[in-house]
């Protein structure tokens, strides 16, 4: 009697989830040793750290996004479009919501999917901390849909400005959150203005753009060393970005932001990039243990505390580290977690649970791209104690290499090389900025 093939279901096709599905598909799916299923609510994948470039138009996700269906066929796993609503751990089934078209007509009924091993890789969403007016008036750069919305509204504002012969009023854009997303978006906006001016947007230059970056803490990029934060602050100020630290936003309305100090920050377009949380429906889902920001609490092996057959990786996982603290929500964390999770699942399937290893976060440094103007960051190495600060061209090369590592995990070296070649050709034959 043959043993039924195990079914491994991965929910979430972000950096960690897609890399894990690719790895398990190549190792197990190819040889029919297990059925691998990836579930995501979108048709395509885009590396989340690139969303600020999609928002400003310096990256066209129509070219760079990866089709889940095509990738699944190439790497021996199955893809299903869907949104998770609940987990029934007793029967080992997932509940997926019905799929409707934009007019509300049902395309696919609500359905259940069985699993033997489940991996939650749902990523994170912006955390507005219940601040009044934020959901109604600010854009969250959590997914390509929101990035497209920002891009369209930005182009409309710049078009309105350039078509106005008086041009007395500047375009005011406010960004809340001085982390990597907020800092990179602030710089990318000035690059967008420069490019749009070259494409015929009359009167549009850095003086026409008023970007305000608001950070509650004492400095921007609080997760990075103070010297890197200071370097980024200085570069943004040179560009003309108004950087406000120690400033708490208490509410938002259609015309701007109110702060705790009583200042009103006028804004035509607002982005909220201050803090993250796992999606709200994750709170206590399936009776699993979650923390205050809805992350699934996991053991060092990345298995959830209440069910060894359910793993969690990436931003939706709260993973403790030796000596205290938790794994930070970064792309490199998801990349590393996917590798360790793959190894532990293989050990579990072969009945060698004793060979399962704990995940220990390895900080390889952090880099922040200030568009075409500069790149600053720190690199962690084995040849030195602490970190080494890098900036300029070297830092830019290393920054891009982080994305290349993700592509190599998905495509291998040969295909990634071809993708780089096509990207180089596109930079020559395509506009430098998406103009529609």
pTM of the model: 0.88
The span from the CA of 427 to the CA of 360, in Å, is 39
Question: Is residue 293 within 8 Å of 301, Cβ to Cβ?
Answer: no
Please state the φ and ψ torsions of residue 90, each to the nearest 5 degrees: -65, -45
- CATH level 3 topology of 6-124+278-355: FAD/NAD(P)-binding domain (3.50.50)
The span from the CA of 175 to the CA of 211, in Å, is 8
Domain-by-domain residue ranges, the chain?
A: 6-124+278-355, 134-275
Which tokens in the block code for residue 208?
Answer: 């026409």
Q: How many CA atoms lie within 13 A of 272 on its CB side?
A: 26
From the candidate CATH numbers 3.40.50.150, 3.50.50.60, 3.30.70.20, 3.30.360.10, the one assigned to the domain spanning 134-275: 3.50.50.60
* Among candidate residues 85, 52, 87, the one with its CA nearest the CA of residue 288: 87
Which tokens in the block code for residue 313?
Answer: 């990786």
| Adjacency order of strands within the sheet including 34-40 | 78-81, 34-40, 6-11, 117-120, 307-312, 303-304
Instruction: Please report where in the chains the tokens 């090369």 appear, as a residue.
Output: 397
Per-residue pLDDT of the chain in tens (436 residues, 90 and over written 9): 456 789 999 999 999 999 999 999 999 999 999 999 999 999 999 988 888 889 988 888 877 889 999 999 999 999 999 999 999 999 999 999 999 988 989 999 999 999 999 999 999 999 999 999 999 999 999 999 999 999 999 999 988 888 876 766 889 999 999 988 898 899 889 888 888 877 777 778 778 899 999 999 999 988 777 888 888 898 899 889 999 999 999 999 999 999 999 999 999 999 999 989 999 999 999 999 999 999 999 999 999 999 999 999 999 999 998 888 899 888 889 999 999 999 999 999 999 988 999 999 887 656 566 655 555 544 444 333 445 454 555 555 666 777 788 888 888 899 889 888 887 887 777 766 666 6
* 174 Cβ contact partners less than 8 Å away, ≥ 6 residues apart: 211, 212, 214, 256, 257, 265, 267, 269, 270, 271
Which tokens in the block code for residue 357?
Answer: 């290893």
Question: Is residue 243 within 8 Å of 252, Cβ to Cβ?
Answer: no
């Amino acid at each position: 009697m043959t043993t039924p093939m195990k079914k491994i279901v991965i929910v979430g096709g972000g950096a960690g989830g897609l890399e894990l599905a690719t790895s398990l598909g190549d190792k197990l799916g190819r040889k029919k040793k297990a059925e691998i299923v990836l579930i995501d609510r979108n048709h395509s994948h885009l590396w989340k750290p690139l969303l600020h470039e999609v928002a400003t138009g310096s990256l066209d996700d129509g070219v760079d996004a990866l089709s889940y269906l095509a990738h699944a066929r190439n790497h021996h796993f199955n893809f299903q479009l869907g949104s998770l609503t609940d987990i029934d751990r007793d029967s080992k089934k997932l509940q997926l919501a019905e799929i409707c078209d934009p007019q509300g007509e049902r395309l696919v009924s609500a359905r259940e999917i069985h699993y033997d091993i489940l991996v939650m890789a749902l990523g994170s969403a912006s955390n507005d901390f219940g601040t009044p007016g934020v959901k109604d008036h600010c854009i969250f750069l959590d997914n390509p849909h929101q990035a497209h919305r920002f891009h369209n509204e930005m182009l409309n504002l710049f078009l309105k400005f350039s078509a106005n012969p008086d041009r007395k009023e500047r375009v005011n854009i406010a960004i809340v959150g001085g982390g990597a997303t907020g800092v990179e978006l602030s710089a990318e906006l000035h690059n967008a203005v420069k490019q749009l001016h070259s494409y015929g947007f009359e009167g549009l230059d850095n003086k026409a753009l008023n970007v305000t970056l608001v950070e509650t803490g004492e400095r921007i990029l609080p997760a990075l060393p103070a010297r890197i934060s200071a370097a980024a602050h200085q570069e943004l100020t040179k560009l003309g970005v108004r950087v406000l630290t120690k400033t708490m936003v208490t509410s938002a309305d259609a015309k701007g932001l109110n702060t705790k100090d009583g200042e009103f920050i006028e804004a035509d377009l607002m982005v909220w990039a201050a803090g993250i949380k796992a999606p709200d429906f994750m709170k206590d889902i399936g009776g699993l243990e979650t923390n205050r920001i809805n992350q699934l609490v996991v053991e060092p092996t990345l298995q959830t505390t209440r069910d060894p057959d359910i793993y969690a990786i990436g931003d939706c996982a709260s993973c403790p580290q030796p000596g205290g603290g938790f794994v930070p929500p970064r792309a490199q964390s998801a990349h590393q977690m996917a590798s360790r999770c793959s190894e532990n699942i293989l050990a579990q399937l072969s009945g060698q649970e004793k060979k399962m290893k704990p995940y220990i976060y390895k900080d390889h440094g952090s880099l922040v791209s200030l568009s075409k103007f500069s790149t600053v960051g720190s690199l962690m190495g084995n040849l030195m104690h602490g970190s080494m600060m890098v900036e300029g061209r070297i830092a830019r090369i290393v920054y891009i290499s982080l994305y290349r590592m993700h592509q190599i995990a998905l495509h291998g070296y040969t295909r990634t090389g071809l993708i780089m070649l096509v990207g180089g050709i596109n930079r020559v034959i395509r506009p430098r900025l998406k103009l529609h």
